[in-house]
Amino acid sequence: MWNLFQPKASRSRGRRRGDQIWLFLLFLGVVGYLVWDAYLRPIPPVYKASGGLELYFAPEQGRAAKGRLIGLIGAAQNRIEVAALELEDREIGQALVQAAARGVRVRMLNDSDYRRETHESLGVSSSSPARCETLQRIQVCYDSRPNALMHHKFVVVDDLGVWTGSTNLTWNAFERNNENSLWLPVPGLVQVYRAEFEALFAGQENGLGRSARFQIGSTLGAVYFSPAGGQKARNAILELLGRAQREIWVAAYVLTDTRIVEALVKAHRRGVQVRVVIDARNLSNSRDETLKQASIDVRKDGNPYTMHHKIIVVDGEWVITGSYNFTNSGFGRNNENLLILRDSTLAQRYKREVEAVWRAGTRL
């Protein structure tokens, strides 16, 4: 009531100060909630597993990785969902056919550019132009968008876990290319990936884009889906790069996202050691010149086939991986899944892989 006796100008200034304080408190509340939601919110038990994470690097461990995937398919009892850019491996194809023959419900989503490879891998002949068809008791649908890729590489097995990473389901991917594959045995992740698959399979071709946090042993993780959740995925990458303090290692099949390139340059300028290796075939499409102009040590890879990684390792503690290429299409058009993992032991394994690829490359 005392402000009634103040001059009007004074009361106006007081109200403005009060409004500013309330806006500031509101801002703090919003930021606090976002931090809590992203990092401090308890992870529900269904998104936790005591252990069992598996990591494979091809080509050195490519045969072991494919053998493990075929074993998982062979052990399935109820259902398998496959979302893969392409299926061009007859061993994996026949494992899926055998699973379907013994009564497992097998469904698969591929990019429409790879119908022929799917038919050959499943041992069938078909000229159907339909979006969906049944092949060897397997329900197969194809993405129909003309300017985007169904770029996932994941397999969901029963309620046991999710197989994902950079590795296409092709012979070359396991035998020749630089790739990484993960087995994530978390029931909650099964639910998240399966929900994304169900939407895509039903024709909702941008997906759901629901992110989720999870934990496997000491490994903390988050998963994001593009394009519906692509901006959130991209922001998570940029935030992590913005917090880097010591070092960033990048192995990129292609690198065209200017925001990510800018974040790498800014990190380098504030004293973070940044090292980048890019697939030699994609240099003409990537922004390696911007990195070189900033005096960042960037190399083209030395694999005569394909360096297909999409890996960033930050400060020996954080790993970014998945099917997500570091491009505008990666967050804006294509179907992708991005994983951000926090575990120093796991990060060191990824760092050794990226460093080996980087050292085998040629400085630009």
Residue 350: closest CA among 148, 342, 47, 6: 342
DSSP 71-110: HHHHH-SSEEEEEES-EE-HHHHHHHHHHHHTT-EEEEEE
By DSSP bridging, strand 153-157 and strand 161-165 are antiparallel
Residue 269: closest CA among 248, 253, 288, 285: 248
**Mean pLDDT across the chain:** 92
Q: Catalytic residue positions? A: 308, 310, 315
- pLDDT tens digits for range 279-304: 999 998 899 899 999 999 999 999 99
Q: Which residues pair with 58 in a beta bridge?
A: 179
Write the CATH number of the domain with boundaries 209-363: 3.30.870.10
DSSP 34-59: HHIIIIISPPPGGGEESS--EEEEET
> Sorting pLDDT into bands at 50, 70 and 90, what band is 188?
very high
53-197: what CATH class?
A: alpha beta
Give start-end residues of each CATH 3.30.870.10 domain in the chain.
53-197, 209-363
Distance CA 268, CA 254 (A): 20
Tell me the average pLDDT across 237-247.
98
> Sorting pLDDT into bands at 50, 70 and 90, what band is 19?
low
Which amino acid, one-letter code, is at 59? P
Stronger pLDDT, 121 or 1, i.e. the higher one: 121
> Sorting pLDDT into bands at 50, 70 and 90, what band is 219?
very high
